[in-house]
Amino acid sequence: MDSLREKWFALLPDSGKARRVPEGQPFWLFALSQSLRLMGDPDADIIIDNSPGSSFAEGVRLGHLEPLGPTPQVYRPREKEPSYDESEWMPEVGNYFRGDEAAAEKILEEQFREEEQAGRMSTLSEKEAARRYPGRALRVAAQGILEKPDGGHRIIHDATHGVRLNNEIVIQDRLENPGPRELATIMEVSQDSGEHVIFGLNADVAKAHRRVLVKESDWGVQACRTASRSPVIWLNRTGTFGVASAAFWWSRLMALLGRFAYNLTEQDWLFVLVFVDDLHLAAGGQNRWLAIWKFLVALEMSPFLIRNLEAVFRWIMLVIGWTTLVLSWGFQRRGPTGLSSLWRTYRPAAG
């Protein structure tokens, strides 16, 4: 994969910058930005241009001080405003927990330390937090703990009650997820085209909302504690599950990554549906396996961080067998620079 990325970088106008990964982000955003601009993508500017006030490279705003959008090149306008519970303003709300608070504190502490090591959270003393984020710029929200089927825990940041962050966030674009209508369209188009065998593959993105860097000036309104007696203030540096704008920013980043990968599949018979952090691929035609392979490899070049991606690759390789795949990366020539096609021969080894 590193060799393939190097060939990708070498095709771009500024290959040196393309090799850089912005601090606080796991993606090669500069390479992605250059590629999408050459492809003529309508939303490529949001990656690094920091206008108006947000970029994925330097951090996005949460939307509580200024509205997010409109972005007509990507979204349709929002027609209905969301409704949030009304509550009395409080700068800090205690955590929700069942039973022993010490047990809840231990779960939160372990999770937060993992997030800190990954660069998605950081700590401040109470005094320093108040200095950096005066007044309503510091909001310590309640944390809820949900048990997951696999025995783990999902942490919920309540950005509504007391701190009222969600009540103040304004998003002018409408978020839409594919549903029965889109699935029916895939079936109808496939039948009309004589494609009666469609292969589907599902995957989910690990820590999807947490892959978006938030501007440092907004970290204070995503603050929390592990326990009421703790003197440590934890700041969320990235998109946070429970904050209204996290889904908006993830959908916009996912769309950019998806269009990049989809453009590289050229004319393959491939449909891509995204349900928040769940990815659904449907492919037909003689090249159905190659189409899915190309799409997933293109995402991983970003890198996309699909959960269990290695297992997915191995499964596809077993289906394809001991063959040599030639991946044709079909960049279209656009703009003054353009990109020629990148060819790479990849020989998978069944595991």
- Domain regions of the chain by residue span: 2-346
Q: What is the mean pLDDT of residues 33-50?
A: 92
Position with higher pLDDT, 301 vs 316 = 301
- Rounded CA separation 103/101 (Å): 5
pLDDT tens per residue across span 175-201:
988 888 888 888 888 888 887 777 878
Beta bridge partners of 279: 203, 274
Q: Where are the alpha helices (DSSP H) in 71-164?
A: 101-117, 126-132
Alpha carbon dihedral 106, 112, 118, 124, in 10-degree steps, equals: -130
Q: What is the mean pLDDT of residues 230-255?
A: 95
Predicted confidence at residue 307, as pLDDT, reads 54
Angle at 204 between CA 59 and CA 325, to 5 degrees: 105
Q: Is the pLDDT of residue 49 over 70?
A: yes
Weakest mean pLDDT among 45-59, 77-91, 223-237: 45-59
Who's near 317: CB < 8 A, 6+ residues apart?
Answer: 348, 349, 350, 351
Weakest mean pLDDT among 78-87, 245-254, 289-298: 289-298
Homologous superfamily (CATH) of 2-346 is HIV Type 1 Reverse Transcriptase, subunit A, domain 1 (3.10.10.10)
- Rounded CA separation 158/142 (Å): 5
3-class secondary structure, 145:
strand
Nearest to 211 by CA among 177, 190, 241: 241
- Rounded CA separation 336/133 (Å): 45
Weakest mean pLDDT among 69-73, 288-292, 303-307: 303-307
Q: Is the pLDDT of residue 47 over 60?
A: yes
Q: pTM for this structure?
A: 0.83
Question: How does the average pLDDT of the chain come out, rounded?
Answer: 83
Give the single-character DSSP code of 14: T
Give yes or no for a contact between 290 and 325, defined as CB atoms under 8 angstroms apart: yes
pLDDT tens per residue across span 114-164:
999 999 999 999 999 999 999 999 999 999 998 888 878 889 999 999 999
Q: What is the mean pLDDT of residues 222-230?
A: 94
Beta bridge partners of 202: 280
Give Cα 90 distance to the centre of its chain.
30
Q: What is the mean pLDDT of residues 323-344?
A: 33
Provide Rg for the chain, Cα atoms.
22
